[in-house]
């Protein structure tokens, strides 16, 4: 049986504890313009918090030339 890796969900406010880029403001810009930037699938809203799926973020960044 194969094990599926579960991606880490990181709150925007804690993102820079794990990664230097992008800044918190940059992430907030991406979330605010998610539809235009095709960023919808990368974040999850839960209990008033915005969580970024770490693996999906870096896949998105690679596919958008970041």
Tens of pLDDT along the chain (66 residues)? 567 788 999 999 999 999 999 999 999 999 999 999 999 999 999 999 999 999 999 999 999 886
Most distant CA pair in the chain: distance in Å?
A: 41
In the chain, the number of structural domains is 1
Q: Does the residue 3 lie in any domain?
A: no
Its domain, for residue 29, covers 9-63
Q: What is the pTM of this model?
A: 0.87
pLDDT for 44 equals 95
Q: Does the residue 31 lie in any domain?
A: yes
Q: Is the peptide bond before 61 cis (omega within 30 degrees of 0)?
A: no
DSSP-based three-state secondary structure for 62: helix
CA dist 1 → 4, 6, 7, 27 (Å): 10, 16, 19, 36
pLDDT for 19 equals 97
Q: Does the residue 2 lie in any domain?
A: no
Q: Does the residue 45 lie in any domain?
A: yes
């Amino acid at each position: 049986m194969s094990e599926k890796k579960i991606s880490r969900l990181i709150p925007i406010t804690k993102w820079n504890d794990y990664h230097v880029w992008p800044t918190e403001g940059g992430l907030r810009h991406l979330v605010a313009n998610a539809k235009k930037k095709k960023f919808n699938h990368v974040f999850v809203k839960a209990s008033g918090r915005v969580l970024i799926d770490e693996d999906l973020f870096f896949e998105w960044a690679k596919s958008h030339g970041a």
